[in-house]
Amino acid sequence: MENITKINLGKNGPLVSKLGLGCMRMSSVWGSPVNDETESIATIQAALDNGINFINTGDFYGAGHNEMLIGRAIKGRRDDAFISVKFGAIFYNGQWLGLDLRPMAIKNFINYSLVRLGIDTIDLYQPCRLDGSVPLEDVVGTIADLIKEGKVRHLGVSEITADQLRKANDIHPVSALEIGYSLADRQIEKDLLPTAKELGIGVVAFANTAEGLLTGNMKAPLAASDYQNHFSRFQGENLIKNLEKVEILKNMAEEKGYTPTQLAIAWVNAQGSHIMPLVSMSKRSRLPENIAAMQISFTADEINTLNTQFSPGAILGGTYLQR
């Protein structure tokens, strides 16, 4: 049974679910343990059963493990899934080495992705970010060539600036921009979001809970092993002050009968019909609550409270989203 609204991904773009499934946490990226594969596959299939057709991965998630997992999950039901793949990041032994965005590398990456996914065409293909090492014209031009060849259907971009977005769209129409966006990370509202809207480009918004900050479950200080310790937002006095802000979200969630995570997703969803919350899940048990979050509405006073208390810059310290 389908419970999710469908939207066009960008102006005159393909029809996709308003809620996207992020599959990264199903694989080991930063040296974390691999989640139960049977449960991960069941989660993807349950998402498809509920009308969530936007499936997001990266060819570097678990060195291809994530793509193979998705390939197993969508076998026999390719038409139910819209597959979004990021490329370009190079990891070795769980460590980030950099980017490889050379045209030759892109043409190599996609062939491996198609085999691992067990499909003939990737629906949305995008560099995970840009570093200036290869001209944008060469990166986008290569994907445009892959579209002509039939290996890719639509061009996406990820974690870029407003100027880069305009330039990419001039080279070849961009269907979607993938970018981090949450109540705690609103810097893209100044230039990038308005540019995407002006150009008719869909927005795939990840990190809706700001690396766990907005879940309401975080306490100071964090455990020494928590990866969030690398970011100044989660350190010392910053974390204490930031968690005071989260109490406002927790109180509103309790009054409305939802969780803070659901409200965080719902706020992103409410920012526009062209914006898709991309939520990472690896367990079927998470699906009902995340689907329910898409039905949450806010009063004008509630929106005003959230926008005021979580105004740009209200959350202290940075993360990798702020570069």
Enumerate the active-site residues.
Answer: 61
Report which residue type is found at 196.
A
Q: Report the candidate in 178, 315, 310 with the shortest Cα–Cα distance to residue 249.
A: 310
| Distance (Å, whole) CA 230 – CA 223 | 12
| Distance (Å, whole) CA 22 – CA 280 | 4
| Distance (Å, whole) CA 293 – CA 94 | 33
Q: Which two tokens stand for residue 81?
A: 């899934």
Adjacent-strand bridge partners of 154: 124
**C-alpha count within 13 angstroms, C-beta hemisphere, residue 142:** 20
**What single-letter DSSP state applies at residue 9?**
S
| Distance (Å, whole) CA 229 – CA 236 | 10
Report which residue type is found at 279.
V
**C-alpha count within 13 angstroms, C-beta hemisphere, residue 273:** 7
Q: Report the candidate in 87, 121, 117, 116 with the shortest Cα–Cα distance to residue 102.
A: 87
